[in-house]
Amino acid sequence: MSYNVIYKDLGTKDYKETWDIQSEIFNDLVNMKSALSSGKSHCSELPGTLIFVEHPHVYTLGKSGMEENLLVNALQLKKVEATFYKTDRGGDITYHGPGQIVGYPILDLEEIGIGLKEYIYRLEEAVIMTLRDVNINAERFSGCTGVWIEPDIPGKARKICAIGVRSSRYITMHGFALNVNTDLSYFNNINPCGFKDKGVTSIEKELGERQNIDKIKIIVRDYLSKVLKLNLQ
């Protein structure tokens, strides 16, 4: 049985505005689920939401991250036209910007029948399958979330997709960021995901040419639908 999910492509939108949209949907789902479990509601199914978006330049820090992994001050942030937010997701610091597909699945994992660990595994799987379709061999990195290229080769390990999520009552928010045509120089201002000895990359860099991001979005969306058994609306 598939899970009904509303798909929204927000185009380019400010990080905080998008976080507010996520939070409203997330809180509604959590509250509706609480009401359902207590017998105060008779809804038979709570539809999820899958948001795709590109953000203007922004650095975000996970709740367990260290602020010293941001290597620039407020004045330097302004100079590169970037903002900074402390968030309630897992993980450390990362960058979002133009040319990057950011996905925010707001889903009830109980409707899918999986736990949080398996959910993150399936997010990684959808991205790995997407990259395979464009002739990039990507893998998981043992002990680290996200999707990597040559993770076991010293000096060559580079992350192409970061993942950081939050969950409550099995409802998820936040998600993944896949570098497509991303300006990778912005990662020089942080220790990406807390790593000082690992690189970052993008589909454009790996293939040597600029990509059609809309086509990549469709591939990612369809694999997410497949691996999570979503009925996208």
Q: Would you name the residues annotated as active-site residues?
A: 193
In terms of Cα–Cα distance, which of 56, 117, 68 is closest to 93? 68
Contact (Cβ atoms closer than 8 angstroms) between residue 231 and residue 7: no
Q: Is 211 helix (H, G, I), strand (E, B) or coil?
A: coil
Pairing of strands 58-61, 83-86: parallel
CA distance 40 to 97: 42
DSSP letter at 102 equals: E
Q: Which two tokens stand for residue 87?
A: 């968030």
Amino acid at 77: L
CA distance 25 to 160: 28
In terms of Cα–Cα distance, which of 122, 112, 162, 117 is closest to 5? 112
